[in-house]
Structure 1
């Protein structure tokens, strides 16, 4: 039986067999998450969580020609830009509700299978990293590229990146570098490498699974799995060496003193990112390493308020680092953000520390109910 359960053309849902199927259907925007999409996802997951007939959930993205080929490029940053300039309170709602959705997925009591094909970035990581089964392909392009728009890796990014081996979490968080499916598995950001050509077949086969047999899901994964190719993070030793340094300035200066191509490229990448947010992000990842997911999400909710309303620097709206970053990348597309401060060496601890001070008392925090 097929049952459409959520009225949202950007989030298609159905139940077949004992599986709830979700397809993100906003391909023209690379399935970027809107507030309506976040609300639809939350509603259907809560509905299926309470439905004894639904034994598992599967989620995929679509591209302009059909299913798969792209998962989710993140949150709708053009909406962030417009809402910030207009003072639209829906911006606050978006982050509160998105982070609550991320928490729900991490704590979902039923198998949640994420088909992470194509682009998986930002908010796309938020709706897949908590999955019980994270499937990637040879087409996967994964990243948390927020420092490129004057933001930070949110949606629980502090939590899941800080738990990557060595200092690879700091590397991914600061640079926003894109990794492939093999590297995602190697770094603990995916569970299985599967054959992209067999995704439609694997998706359809889920509806016929015997969910009373716990081994059935593993057997299904085995039918579409492929061997990962050779590792692509040959710089792991350098990553751990440089990204363990105490400050962003120390990291960049050490990279610039290393003549290797990897170090020079990495240093150049960092020089293009928001200097202010690089410092904030390094602190975020290191704090999150000893936090629960709920505490990390509360911290990130505090941080994102400060990104758009940076009171301690007398910046908000168009003058905020995040709105300027989005303007340069996605609105005017001049790719020349006017970062403030302009250089990594100009950022002071007094500029960074207030990002971690909550604007709310604990009892009134938007995510105070998360445990």
Structure 2
């Protein structure tokens, strides 16, 4: 009897454990990473990974793209709204860790992620319907690509915008080569090279956001293209925290080395801080980014994304990206060992090779 009772108890514990596993799997499946819904005549996309600041991965891209195209051609849908869940972030970037592991292993994800992300970025830029991005909270990297090419970008006092890619051996992609050089003066180049963070109203004043609305009012129920356009005209004021004339003078140079020389020669607190920042960045990333923005100023968004796809694959073949992710995101020692370690060691020919055609593997739309 005791033996039978023991085995019965064992089976019961196993059954309970199985039920707990099944319950966890079901709850994971229910918690969709992207929520797609119709609210009146608006198509609403909610990025739903708040625990990882709504980081964008490939399955999410594969959900958003077809739905965006469907709504674009649907007569019952007048506008498309995209927002982030959780209150902290719109989207803090792409799922870089997954891409890093894939790149190391030669997994196709390192190609597929960038390719499909850039195709989505282009679709947003070409969308015929008003596309409204509610960038309420952290908006970086991949989150910029989901927002900045749309017709309306609505910032709030909680918005934190940055393109910090040069710190991880990458470059400001997702169409950064298109929108950054189109900001006034040398502001785009400054943001691209330093990863400087814009906050709140300065996101609009810099021209990244088209409008500013208080965070508590940023809801899908009271925002549509007409009332955004009429009630929240873009500000003509310059950002409080950016010294435009100083940025223009310091970042007006024909090379990254020239910018560094300008910063050191200036000697102001602002200039010294930027010089220190650039000294921490990947020299390869800085030179690629400088050339990317130079070229992108005269290209269409689709052509910029083709160029950036080539650059993304050059970074996957190199070493700085993996070292940058290790230092900043994995070990978090903030001490990357770049190769080459100085701007002077990096030849123009090496930089030029990063922009070379991939032949049949080039990005196409």
Q: TM-score, normalised by structure 1?
A: 0.86
User: Which residue does 1:368 correspond to in 2?
Assistant: 364
Say if 2:161 is the partner of 1:162.
Answer: no
Q: After TM superposition, where is structure 1 displaced by more than 3 Å over at least 4 residues in a row?
A: 220-230
Asked whether the 8 Å contact 1:81–1:327 carries over to 2, the reply is no
In structure 2, relative to structure 1, the CA distance for the partners of 1:357 and 1:296 (3 Å cut) is same
**Residues 1-371 of structure 1 correspond to what in structure 2 (within 5 A)?**
9-63=32-86, 68-200=87-219, 203-206=220-223, 217-220=225-228, 231-310=239-318, 320-360=319-359, 364-369=360-365
Structure with greater helix percent: 2
Shift in Å at residue 183 of structure 1? 2.3
> RMSD between aligned alpha carbons?
2.0
Which protein has the larger Cα radius of gyration, Structure 1 or Structure 2? 2
Residue 224 of structure 1, CA deviation: 7.4
Of the structure 1 ranges 260-269 and 222-231, higher mean CA displacement relative to structure 2 is found in 222-231
In 2, Cα distance between equivalents of 1:229 and 1:285:
25
SS in 1 for 2:69: helix
Q: Secondary structure at the match of 1:154?
A: coil
Structure 2, unpaired ranges of 5+: 1-29
Structure 2 distance, partners of 1:256, 1:327, is: 29
- Residues of 1 paired with 2:234 and 2:304: CA distance? 34
Question: Which consecutive unaligned segments of at least 5 residues does structure 1 have?
Answer: 1-6, 210-216, 311-319
Q: TM-score, normalized by length of structure 2?
A: 0.88
Counterpart for residue 7 of structure 2? none
Tell whether the 8 Å contact from 2:53 to 2:88 is kept in structure 1 after alignment: no
User: Deviations 1:332-353 (Å, cap 9, x if unpaired)?
Assistant: 1111111011122322212211
Would the aligned equivalents of 2:185 and 2:248 in 1 still touch at CA under 8 Å? yes
Q: What's the offset of the Cα at 1:87?
A: 1.5
8 Å contact from structure 1 (residues 195, 225) kept in 2: no
Change (3 A) 1:299 1:8: farther
